[in-house]
Structure formats: C-alpha cells, structure tokens
C-alpha cells in the first residue's frame, strides 16, 4: 500500500512555487547575461585582433635580400611573446616570417581570397589562440598574413564571471525562498483571520459576521460571500424554527380538541345520539388533522425534490373556467359574485393537477376572506410571451409590509379568522410552489379600491400538439 504524504499547506506551496519560478527566472537571466557578456568580450577581442592585423600590415617590410622583417616598434609589453604573435606565408605555403619564438602555430592550410578576413580559434600546446588571416602585399610581394592573440586571459575572465553567477545562484534562491515565505505568510494572514472568526460562528451565533477590511480585493470578496452564506443560513434556520413552532402548534390544536371532546363525552352518561355527535365532532378534527399532515408530507416531498411533474399543453383559460365552476357553489353560499371575465385562448405547458391546485387555493382564499355580497373578478390574458391569471377580491387586503410573508408556511394575517374558516396557513405556500415548478411566478399587491390582487404569470406555449414531459422539482418558498 502506497504511503500517503500529507498535503502541503497553501503557504508552503506558494513559497515553493515562488522559489521555483524565481529560480528559473534567475537561471534564464544568468544564462542570457553570460551569453551576452561572452559575445561582447569576443567582439572586443576580435576588434583588438583586427587592430593587431593593421599594425602588422604597417610594420612589415622587405629587406634588400628579399626577406620579410618587422620595422615597427613593439606595441605590447612584458611577455608579448605569449600574448600576440604573427607570421607571414607565401602564396605557395612557405613561411617567410614569424614572431614569438615560443609560439608554434600550425601552417596555414589554405590562403583566403583577396579582401577576405578569416577568423579562427585553435589550440596550440594546450593554449587557446584566436587568429585572423588575410592576404597582404609587402612592397609588391603578395603574402598571407596571420595575426594570433591568446584567449587565455579572456577565458579566465569569463570563468570568473561564470563562477560569480554560479556561487551567487544558491544565495539568490535562498533569499527568494525566504522572501516567498514572508510574502505568502503576509498574503494568507487575512485568511487565517477569517478562519478564526468563522470558527466562532455557530448555529446559535449566525447573526455574527466576518469583518471585511477591504471589500475590493480577493479576500474581501471571499469574506463577503461567506457573510452572504451566513445570512442565508440564518434566514433558513429562522424559517425552520418558525415552521417547527407553527407546525407543532397546528398539530397540537386538533389533538387538544379531540382530547377535550373525548373527556367531556366520558365525564357523564350520555345517550346514543349524544355519543354519535361526540364521535362526529372528533372525526371532524381527525379529518382536519389528516389534511394538515398530508399537506405537510407533500411539502416535505417537494423540498426533497421527489414529486413527479407531468407537463402537458393545455388552455389556461379553460382550466381556470373549470376551477371557477367548481368553486361557484362556495361563492353562492356567501352571496358573492364570482366572475370570470371574457378571455382568449392562452396555451401553456404545465402539470394540470398541480396548477389546478394553485388556482383553486388562490380563488378559495379570495372567497374565504372576502365579505358577503362582494365581487371576485378573474382575468386570463396573454401579454407578450406570458400567460397572466389575475384574481382580484374585495377583502381586507394585505398590508405592503406583510406581502413578502403572505406565501410563508403557516403565516396568517388574522389567526382567529383563519381558524374560523378552517385554514391551516399552507394554501398560498402550496400555490406558490405549484406555480414555480411550472416555471411561473406569483405575486400579490394591494388593490386601490380595497382588497387584494393575486397575479400568476406562466410562459406561453407555442406547441400545437399535446406531449408530456416528466420532471422532478423541489418546492420553493
């Protein structure tokens, strides 16, 4: 089994990468510098060699006996014999003159063309020489003149430069590593600070936030994202607490009623009719409790994304007309006018049963909370590429500060009136979920003449044939 090494910290990785990159840059820089310096030294060396050649051209002459001799002064000092040398050869390859008795340069293999300067490096007796060879005329005699200069001093200087670069490289790498560690430590210090602050924020302290010294750099933006996450978590926890408390309250109320009816029924002897009435009252509360539990289970399945949504192409106007027809009896009992205004065909691609439940809950909510002999008007319109269903009532209305919470689970504007109507506070939550999983949106606003306006918006469908799409959706809100 292979041993697993612990992953290096970000600080160590940053230091390593910084050191490696800077070391590579130093290597490239040192190599380019050395090549450039060497090239410059060689150019200057060749210039000196050319000056030596010109000096030799002016200092050579023919003696009366035809020999070639040096007539100028020595232009170098000390051990000139080991520094600069020259020799003269005839066109036939015979050596006519040479200087520097200790230098034994090899014979010239081939004469260069007239006007051509030929540079060459060679090794003689373990020493490196640089030569310049060209044709020349000494008092009318065509000869081949070669001037040589030792490269030993030049190479010694280049070796010193290379040695300095090589010895300085480890020091530069060490300094780069130390500097990289300091920079990485300083750059990551805010992250350590964020980690220590985030560690103290628990479920009981979700209201705390991370301090953001600079909101415009990367660390500041990261802290902002973390703060936004904490804000969402705080909101979710608050909703969960409120939902748990409301659900417990809603479940406890029918249970307490059932218990109270049962205790009253057993407190004294009763007739068979009285027992039937008692059992009937208990069954009513059981039905209410069952309906509440079923609704909660459906919402939980929606939160888990396990509800199947079967889409089909249908006419929203016709679906709304069916809902209005089925709820007309409730409106008649309250002497209300439930009117579906003139409409046009509005094709949509939705789940019929799910959307029908949303429309039913919104219209039923308008009937419950509108006074007797009031009007409830419903419009279905195609506006642009959207189908809009509007339900306007003449009820008590919803204050603007409560409109954002009206779709929350178990939220009620008036607890007493809601219970009198048998509501659980989940109808509008179900409606919001049903509209949103059909890719729509639901909003509410206060009516200028009194009452509320609920507006559902769904995308229009351009398909003319009926098809089905099965998807899974999570309940929103």
Q: Which residues are registered as beta bridge partners of 62?
A: 68
Q: What CATH number did the domain enclosing 391 receive?
A: 3.30.565.10
Q: Kindly state whether residues 273 and 345 are assigned to the same domain.
A: no
- The span from the CA of 66 to the CA of 96, in Å, is 10
β-strand pairing of 452-459 with 386-392: antiparallel
User: Starting at the edge strand that comes first in sequence, how are the strands of the sheet with 127-138 ordered?
Assistant: 95-98, 84-90, 141-150, 127-138, 118-124
Q: Kindly state whether residues 153 and 223 are assigned to the same domain.
A: no
Question: Residue holding tokens 């029918």?
Answer: 254
Distance, first Cα to last Cα, the chain:
50
Q: What CATH number did the domain enclosing 224 receive?
A: 1.10.287
Cα–Cα nearest to 128, from 107, 153, 145:
153
Q: What CATH number did the domain enclosing 52 receive?
A: 3.30.450
235: its two tokens:
């909101």
pTM above 0.85, yes or no: no
Cβ(446)–Cβ(398) below 8 Å: yes
- The span from the CA of 236 to the CA of 233, in Å, is 5
Q: Kindly state whether residues 284 and 314 are assigned to the same domain.
A: no
The pLDDT score that the predictor gives to residue 163 is: 92
- With vertex at residue 225, the alpha carbon angle to CA 223 and CA 230, rounded to the nearest 5 degrees, is 90
Residue 376: how many other CB atoms lie within 10 Å:
23
Q: Kindly state whether residues 143 and 265 are assigned to the same domain.
A: no
Question: Residue holding tokens 């050869």?
Answer: 89
Contacts of 96 (CB under 8 A, 6+ apart): 67, 68, 88, 89, 90, 143
Answer with the one of 135, 158, 181 that is the final residue of a domain.
158
In a domain, 203, yes or no: no
Q: If you compute the radius of gyration of the chain from its CA atoms, what whole number of angstroms results?
A: 50
- The span from the CA of 370 to the CA of 393, in Å, is 7
- The span from the CA of 153 to the CA of 159, in Å, is 10
The pLDDT score that the predictor gives to residue 313 is: 92
The pLDDT score that the predictor gives to residue 6 is: 54
Q: Kindly state whether residues 231 and 324 are assigned to the same domain.
A: no
In a domain, 194, yes or no: no
Q: Kindly state whether residues 99 and 241 are assigned to the same domain.
A: no
Q: Kindly state whether residues 291 and 312 are assigned to the same domain.
A: no
In a domain, 291, yes or no: yes
In order along its 477 residues, the chain shows pLDDT tens digits of 444 545 567 778 888 888 888 889 989 999 999 999 999 999 999 999 998 888 888 888 888 777 777 786 654 444 444 578 888 888 777 888 887 654 667 888 777 877 788 888 888 878 888 888 898 888 878 888 888 888 888 889 999 999 998 888 888 888 888 888 888 888 778 777 777 777 787 777 777 777 777 777 777 788 888 888 888 887 777 767 766 766 666 667 677 778 887 887 777 787 888 778 888 878 877 877 777 777 667 666 666 666 677 889 999 999 999 999 988 888 888 889 999 988 888 999 998 888 998 898 899 889 988 898 899 999 999 999 999 999 999 888 887 777 777 877 666 665 544 444 555 667 788 888 889 888 999 999 988 778 899 999 999 987 544 444 444 444 443
Helices in 126-213 by DSSP H: which ranges? Answer: 152-199
Q: What are the Cα distances from residue 475, in Å, to 308, 419, 472?
A: 12, 25, 10
Domain count, the chain: 3
β-strand pairing of 452-459 with 469-473: unpaired
Range of the domain at 458: 305-473
Q: Kindly state whether residues 295 and 347 are assigned to the same domain.
A: no
Contacts of 193 (CB under 8 A, 6+ apart): 211
The pLDDT score that the predictor gives to residue 271 is: 81
Characterize 379-391 residue by residue with b for buried, 16 or more Cβ atoms within 10 angstroms of its Cβ, and e for exposed.
Answer: bbebeeeebbbeb
- The span from the CA of 126 to the CA of 113, in Å, is 30
In a domain, 379, yes or no: yes
Cβ(176)–Cβ(22) below 8 Å: yes
The pLDDT score that the predictor gives to residue 226 is: 82
In a domain, 468, yes or no: yes
Q: Kindly state whether residues 271 and 400 are assigned to the same domain.
A: no
- With vertex at residue 444, the alpha carbon angle to CA 440 and CA 449, rounded to the nearest 5 degrees, is 140
The pLDDT score that the predictor gives to residue 186 is: 82
The long-range contacts involving 220-225, CB below 8 angstroms and separated by at least 24 positions, are: 222/191, 222/194, 223/194
Cα-Cα-Cα-Cα torsion 216, 217, 221, 223, nearest 10 degrees, comes to -110
Q: What are the Cα distances from residue 476, in Å, to 95, 310, 351, 388, 407?
A: 105, 18, 16, 20, 10
Characterize 91-111 residue by residue with b for buried, 16 or more Cβ atoms within 10 angstroms of its Cβ, and e for exposed.
Answer: eeeeebbbbbeebebeebeeb
Contacts of 244 (CB under 8 A, 6+ apart): none
Answer with the one of 158, 179, 201 that is the final residue of a domain.
158
Q: Kindly state whether residues 277 and 322 are assigned to the same domain.
A: no
């Amino acid at each position: 089994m292979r041993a697993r090494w612990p992953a290096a910290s970000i600080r160590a990785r940053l230091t390593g990468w910084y050191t490696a990159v800077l070391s590579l840059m130093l290597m490239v820089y040192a190599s380019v510098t050395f090549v450039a310096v060497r090239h410059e030294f060689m150019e200057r060396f060749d210039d000196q060699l050319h000056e030596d050649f010109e000096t030799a051209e002016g200092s050579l002459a023919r003696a009366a006996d035809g020999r070639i001799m040096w007539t100028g002064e020595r232009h170098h000092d000390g051990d000139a014999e080991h520094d600069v040398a020259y020799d003269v050869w005839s066109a036939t390859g015979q050596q006519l003159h040479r200087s520097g008795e200790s230098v034994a340069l090899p014979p010239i293999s081939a004469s260069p063309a007239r006007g051509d300067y030929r540079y060459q490096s060679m090794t003689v007796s373990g020493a490196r020489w640089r030569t310049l060879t060209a044709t020349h005329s000494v008092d009318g005699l065509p000869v081949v003149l070669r001037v040589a200069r030792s490269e030993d001093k030049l190479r010694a200087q280049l070796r010193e430069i290379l040695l300095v670069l090589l010895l300085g490289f480890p020091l530069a790498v060490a300094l780069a590593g130390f500097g990289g560690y300091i920079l990485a430590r300083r750059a990551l210090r805010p992250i350590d600070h964020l980690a220590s602050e985030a560690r103290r924020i628990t479920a009981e302290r979700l209201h705390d936030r991370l301090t953001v010294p600079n909101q415009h750099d990367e660390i500041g933006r990261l802290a902002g994202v973390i703060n936004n996450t904490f804000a969402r978590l705080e909101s979710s926890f608050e909703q969960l607490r409120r939902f748990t408390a409301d659900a417990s309250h809603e479940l406890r109320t029918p249970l307490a009623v059932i218990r109270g009816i049962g205790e009253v029924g057993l407190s004294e002897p009763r007739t068979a009719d009285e027992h039937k009435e008692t059992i009937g009252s208990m069954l009513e509360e059981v039905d209410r409790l069952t309906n509440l539990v079923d609704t909660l289970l459906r919402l939980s399945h929606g939160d888990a994304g396990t509800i199947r949504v079967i889409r089909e192409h249908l006419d929203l106007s016709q679906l709304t007309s069916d809902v209005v027809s089925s709820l007309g009896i409730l409106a008649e009992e309250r002497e209300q006018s439930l009117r579906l205004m003139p409409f046009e065909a509005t094709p949509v691609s939705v789940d019929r049963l799910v959307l029908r439940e949303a429309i039913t809950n919104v219209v039923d909510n308008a009937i419950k909370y509108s006074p007797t002999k009031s009007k409830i008007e419903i419009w279905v319109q195609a506006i642009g590429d959207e189908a809009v269903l509007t339900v306007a009532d003449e009820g008590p209305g919803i204050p603007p500060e409560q409109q954002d919470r009206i779709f929350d689970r178990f939220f009620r504007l008036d607890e007493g009136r809601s219970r009198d109507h048998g509501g659980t506070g989940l109808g509008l939550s179900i409606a919001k979920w049903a509209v949103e999983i059909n890719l729509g949106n639901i909003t509410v606003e206060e009516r200028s003449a009194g009452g509320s306006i609920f507006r559902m918006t769904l995308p229009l469908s351009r398909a003319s044939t009926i098809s089905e799409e099965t998807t899974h959706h999570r309940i929103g809100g």
